[in-house]
Amino acid sequence: MSHIRGRFSKPADKLAARYTASLTYDRRLYQQDITGSIAHAKMLGKQGIITAEEARTIIGGLDSIREEIARGEFEFKTELEDIHMAVESRLIEKVGDVGRKLHTARSRNDQVALDTRLFVIGAIADTIKALRNFQRALLDLAEANKDVIIPGYTHLQVAQPVLLAHHLLAYFEMAERDIARLSDSFKRVDVLPLGSGALAGVANSVDREFLAKELGFSQVSRNSLDAVADRDFILEYEAGAAICMMHLSRLAEELVMWSSAEFGFVEIDDVYATGSSIMPQKKNPDVAELARGKTGRVYGHLLALLTTMKGLPLAYNRDMQEDKEGLFDTVDTLLATLEVFAGMVRTLKINPENTHQAAERGYILATDLADYLVKKGEAFRTAHESVAKLVNYAVRKGKSFSELKINEYQRFSPMFDEDVYQISVESSLAARDVSGGTSPRRVKQALARARRTVGRG
């Protein structure tokens, strides 16, 4: 705003200039901006829009600027409102007026769309890599504890016994869907906007296909208005990130519960926990708790951009500058959470005695008793009702299923016989021998399949 003032007779208000500037955060796009500018300069030279010598001079200057920034020697001047103007201004300082030709046949509108797309492409690749690492951590823990039994829950009430490995593989599947979502969204970010100009295209004979090949895009945008006004690709990444954080938050909640004295299923490694400033005995699962909290901020960035975009007429509006801080924070938050969770999961200590004891409680074999009656010829609904009454009786008597006498069982169904005492958590697991089930055989197959998917890393 303070740099491009040819149309105006007054200098920019200092407060307004600070308010509209984005250099403090979009400087992060310097790699993408310079990469795009180098490709643009090559294309201008190839097309004869500038001379080959001018193109070489501009490219040399841009390479030098990139090195300056990487070394921390570049001065980001506050009066230059964004990374595009900061790079262009320094280019002119370094190579003279020929640097002014770089912006021929482009606008900051298609330039920022390009930079942001390149950033999101990199973010997708980094996130998928981090998800694969997280999946390997889940598999390492599952394989190391493949025989551990835990109670499965619905409504946070004891439901049926499952293998811990089966439970962990549920999160593996969630991560697999996260990867699929991000991979699918890549198709829509992989579109070159450069050459769209401010909104209507450019009047020069540019070669957009050359630009696409140079920058690694598989296609060019088909509508210049849409190309500069589209932020769907950011929304898709943020939506995928929000869903992924939701998955991580669910695991975080379970780790918080499981590490409590009431559950005692796991112990979180010291490096992923903190103590209390007043209570010496405390070992708080702070990493897991923070992940739950950070999930809300990722949701917020998605909702913020949806709200920003919902009322914007075509094409570019300055409101769209608000897309970047949320995007950057979303990427940083998700990648950091995936990385720390991989480490936390790998170092979890499982307490199989506690998990097995918990799996024996709460009349967890009630469904197996109903299935037992069904196999004896009882209709399931009738069997369900009989076992429900049996549970009510056992609760009132304060007895477990194993403590009930056979005559007590037979008060609720004459089909109960001595073989009812053969029902156990182990037999319950073995009975779930269906595709996707928790039987040891099926879980072993699932672990092998998952390992083939991700490899050893």
**Residue 163 bridge partners (DSSP):** 149
Please state, in angstroms and rounded to a whole number, the distance separating the CA atoms of residues 382 and 414: 12
155 is catalytic: yes
CB 313 within 8 A of CB 277: no
Tokens of 110: 């298609």
3 is catalytic: no
SS3 state of residue 266: strand
Tokens of 298: 């990722």
Q: In 3D, which of 240, 166, 245 has the Cα closest to residue 450? A: 166
**Beta strands 191-192; 219-220: pairing state:** parallel
CB 131 within 8 A of CB 175: yes
| Residue 277 main-chain phi, psi, to 5 deg | -75, -15
- What letter represents residue 368's amino acid? D
Catalytic residue among 64, 260, 276, 400: 276
Q: In 3D, which of 223, 19, 36 has the Cα closest to residue 116? A: 36
CB 36 within 8 A of CB 114: yes
Catalytic residue among 9, 155, 277, 435: 155
To which residue do tokens 């310097």 refer? 30
SS3 state of residue 308: helix
CB 55 within 8 A of CB 45: yes
- What letter represents residue 246's amino acid? M
CB 336 within 8 A of CB 248: no
Q: Which residues contact 59 (CB under 8 A, 6 or more apart)?
A: 38, 41, 42
Please state, in angstroms and rounded to a whole number, the distance separating the CA atoms of residues 192 and 210: 11
Residues assigned a catalytic role: 155, 276
